[in-house]
Amino acid sequence: MTWYEYMIAKPDQLFPLYVIQVLGDYKGFPGLFIAGIFSAGLSTVSTGLNSLAAIWFSELDGTNFKTSLSEKKAGLLVKLLSFLFGILSFALVFVVPYMGGLVPVAISLSSFFSGSLFGIFLLGMFVPASNTAGATAGLLAGVFLVGWLEIGANIAASQGLQVLNPLPTSIAGCSDNTTSILPTPRSQEAFVLYRISFLWYSLLSTLVTVIVGILVSLIANWWMDLKPNKSSVPSLINLPSMEPDKIKNIVTKGAHDLGGSQAIHTSPCEPRVLLRVLEWVAD
């Protein structure tokens, strides 16, 4: 084995090793690479911390404080919240080494809600029949799917089952000329859904959110159509408060409109007369 093969313990270390091997002979390039990583990381982290602090302050200021804080106190509170979130983020540094690769963990965590939120956006933009029930059901289904896949894959990996099949980082024992085919022993594989790459979690969450949202929206709309529409039923709420003479005039007018010159022979209690009266009252 070469010296650098002992340095590779995680896939996250492959790209820095590549930079050292390829650009290590050029002065300034490794440092430029490190500066780019720090700049990208700090900009993302600072944006996230400031956003969390602003959101928490807006929630606290609207519910927990009787009066609005002054600009000076509000600024101090936002800075304090940002500092607390920074401490919590720094504490995660000691947890990340036990969580496997950093990229899979980051993408898996972001897929919990990013795919479902994008699915809700698609429902609102391109599905006119979507409603609140469908969007809520789709969101819950997408989050549940990603959570199930992520937790199940981690449990399967901890049990020694084969979840992913990455290429080896070592070339020890490899020959440049071989004429025999040796059977490769395969470890017991995990459940087929647990072997899906984490890169597909967002897409799967989006698809499940859209499909479940459409189905639940159609069912909810069908259920609402079964219920009687109160606005289409003539209301008689004002009839009891009318005077007897007014009610008599309404019935007589309805009978006259239906019977014409023979209104005297038309009974006000006939169904068509009552229907005409109800329509007149509704108007």
In sequence order, the β-bridge partners of residue 162 are: 189
Please name every residue paired with 189 in a beta bridge, in sequence order, or none if there are none.
162
pTM (global) more than 0.85: no
pLDDT at 63: 64
- Provide the 10 A C-beta neighbour count for residue 83: 11
Residues 6+ away with beta carbon under 8 Å from 266: 255, 258, 259, 273
For residue 22, the model assigns a pLDDT of 81
Q: What are the CA-CA distances from residue 9 to residues 3, 5, 34 (Å)?
A: 13, 9, 20
Return the pLDDT at 144.
94
For the chain, 283 residues long, give each residue's pLDDT as a single digit of tens.
555 556 677 777 777 888 888 888 888 888 888 888 888 888 888 888 888 888 888 877 766 666 677 888 888 988 999 999 999 888 877 877 776 667 777 787 788 788 999 999 999 999 999 999 999 999 999 999 998 988 888 788 777 776 766 666 665 666 666 566 655 555 577 777 888 888 899 999 999 999 999 999 999 998 887 766 555 544 444 444 455 565 556 556 555 554 444 444 444 445 555 555 556 555 5
Residue 178's pLDDT is what?
59
What pLDDT does residue 266 have? 44
**Residue extents of the structural domains in the chain:** 1-94, 96-164+189-227, 232-282
pLDDT score, position 210: 96
The whole-number pLDDT of residue 245 equals 60
Q: How many separate helices (H) and strands (E) can be counted in the chain? A: 8, 0
Which pLDDT value is given to residue 121? 94
In 10 A of CB 98, how many CB atoms? 6
Residue 132: HSE in the Cβ half-sphere, 13 Å Cα cutoff: 1
Alpha carbons within 13 A on the beta-carbon side of 265: 4
